[in-house]
Structure 1
Amino acid sequence: MVKTPVPHNDSPFLITGVVEDVNGRPVPDATVYFTAGSSPYPDVAALSAADGSFTLSVPNEGVYTLACMTPDSRVAETPVTARSDQPTRVRLRI
């Protein structure tokens, strides 16, 4: 009996972006995390850098909800679509 391998993507789908305030200034130290997804998503978080940037990855293409919380407890949320052709860029505005 010959087994057919199941396709498996070892490469994560990258979601990169920036957290900004309403004036477009970067927000450092915001916690960025997933709250929902069209497929299972990792229970991980990233902290935005001094320039507000962050990078997260998911194992599958699909639509996910990305949220962030600033050190002073402001929250923002946005849908993002992870695709295989390029990293997804997102701007979270607090």
Structure 2
Amino acid sequence: LNNETSPGQAVTVELFLTFQLVLCVLASTDERREDPVGSPALSIGLSVAVGHLLGIRYTGCSMNPARSFAPAVIVGDFSDHWLFWVVGKF
């Protein structure tokens, strides 16, 4: 965790970022949409970019527990890694 972010704050940030990404994926790929404007891939990519720009200062912005696992293995530091898996279960 960065900038003296508490574990509770980190879980909240990761929950928000994961929620906005999942909501974007579900909304942009819904087959029932009657106004297919734009590309789902572009909107999902922009959602990931915005999520990383907003969350990297606080938690490193995982948004996916599997993405955080390899860096934790390489560095050998799993001290705050639990919060990415807790958020990933929601």
Which is helix-richer, 1 or 2? 2
Q: Which has the higher contact order (CA 8 A, sep 6+)?
A: 2
- Do these two structures clear the TM 0.5 threshold for a shared fold by scoring above it? no
TM-score by length of 2: 0.21
TM-score by length of 1: 0.20
